[in-house]
Amino acid sequence: GAKRLESGGGQIWLLLLLLPLLLLSGRAGALVEGLYCGSHNCYDVLGVSRKAGKAEIARAYRQLARRHHPDLVRREGADSESLESAQEAFLLVATAYETLKDEETRKDYDYMLDHPEEYYSHYYHYYSRRLAPKVDVRIVILVTVCAISVFQFFSWWSSYNEAINYLATVPKYRIQATEIAKQQGLLNKAKEKGKNRRSKEEIREEEENIIKNIIKSKIDIKGGYQKPKVCDILLFQIILAPYHLCAYIVWYCRWIYHFNIKGQEYGEEERLYLIRKFMKMSESQFDSLEDHQKETFLELKLWIRENYEAYKQEQEEELKKKKANDSRWKRYRRWMKNEGPGRLTFVDD
């Protein structure tokens, strides 16, 4: 029994030693199933040499495709087995042609024939080309950026028109625009007679457009509803990114030189920038503030950190007082204390 165990163990060790050699010998074959033409040589399938040019390969493919085309075999009355073999031959010819007609794919295939030992490299090159996108990635990115930019621009125009339509309904702005239109003689036109006479709806629509155009020209809308500019869309921002980067570097160096090294006093623009930075507001948000608010910030010298912290604390205390005196806020706190958000209740008010 011991001798049998020893002999069996020796056979197992021998198989383990020979297994890598068997695997390597299996991989050493130049033609691999699942890659290109499989166990067939693509050149042999088309009946051409490795030195054949594109014209010769295309001519051989057309001849073989006509010979093995399933429709032609079906018209000749072949049985199911012949039709199936014709389909397999046609697919093999098509695969061989697809492999050899492209220069890059043909280079990979020739390299596989010359270096069959690089098993995993052949798989990588084959599937990287098969799974690679057919369209240039740069074109995809460009089209995507252009689509986003177009959507941005029309979305901004829609928001801007919404703001104009709203302002045209506000009595303050509508009265001012109407007076300006009358002063310019846009609403004091003589009544039309005869065939040129228009309906009341058309006249009202024209007057509405005149008022909106005056509001557009006289009122500077800031923030998210401001008039859109082409230079603000994503495409132009990407194009102008190097310029903005260089401008920022120049501005930052100038700031360091004038205010940190030379110790100069801040101008109004620099003071407003520091205030906006302390308030953590974007440029569009800060621009949407009224001018008197900015003047108040400057009068309080909020560009100084200590002054801003004191101002911020005052605002928080004032907000707490307003909430404490607000009946709705009191009712909400009472509800949170007694009922809570986790209970289902029916409130009359």
Residue 30's pLDDT is 59
Residue 339's pLDDT is 57
112's CB contacts (< 8 A; 6+ apart) are 30, 32, 35, 36, 118, 122, 125
Residue 275's pLDDT is 92
In this structure, which amino acid lies at residue 274? L
**Locus of tokens 């690089």:** 118
Q: What is the mean pLDDT of residues 185-199?
A: 66
Residue 243's pLDDT is 92
Name the pTM for this structure.
0.48
Query: Which stretches within the chain are classed as H helix?
Result: 2-27, 42-46, 54-68, 70-75, 80-101, 103-114, 119-131, 137-167, 171-183, 200-218, 234-239, 241-255, 268-279, 283-287, 291-299, 305-325, 327-338
Question: Which one is predicted more confidently, 337 or 275?
Answer: 275
pLDDT digits (tens, 9 = 90+) for 29-49: 557 777 888 888 999 999 999
Q: How far apart are CA 281 and CA 273, in angstroms?
A: 10
Residue 346's pLDDT is 43
pLDDT digits (tens, 9 = 90+) for 89-105: 889 999 999 999 988 88
pLDDT digits (tens, 9 = 90+) for 329-346: 777 667 666 655 544 444
Question: Which one is predicted more confidently, 28 or 51?
Answer: 51
Residue 186's pLDDT is 77
The two tokens of residue 17 are: 């030693």
Residue 225's pLDDT is 67
First-residue to last-residue Cα distance in the chain: 95
Residue 125's pLDDT is 81
pLDDT digits (tens, 9 = 90+) for 48-61: 999 999 999 999 99
**Locus of tokens 């060790």:** 13
Work out the mean pLDDT of the chain and round it to a whole number.
80
Q: How far apart are CA 207 and CA 178, in angstroms?
A: 9
CA angle, 253 then 254 then 259, to 5°? 110
pLDDT band at 140 (very low <50, low <70, confident <90, very high): confident
Q: What is the mean pLDDT of residues 273-298?
A: 87
Question: Which one is predicted more confidently, 183 or 28?
Answer: 183
Domains for the chain: give ranges and CATH numbers: 29-131 (1.10.287.110), 138-188+200-228 (no CATH), 265-337 (no CATH)
Residue 15's pLDDT is 45
Does residue 295 register a pLDDT over 60? yes
Residue 38's pLDDT is 84
Does residue 199 register a pLDDT over 60? yes
The two tokens of residue 52 are: 């054949």
Does residue 16 register a pLDDT over 70? no
Are 97 and 46 in contact by the 8 Å Cβ rule? The answer is: yes
Residue 119's pLDDT is 76
In this structure, which amino acid lies at residue 164? I
Of 13-17, 221-225, 262-266, 276-280, give the lowest mean pLDDT range. Answer: 13-17
Residue 150's pLDDT is 93
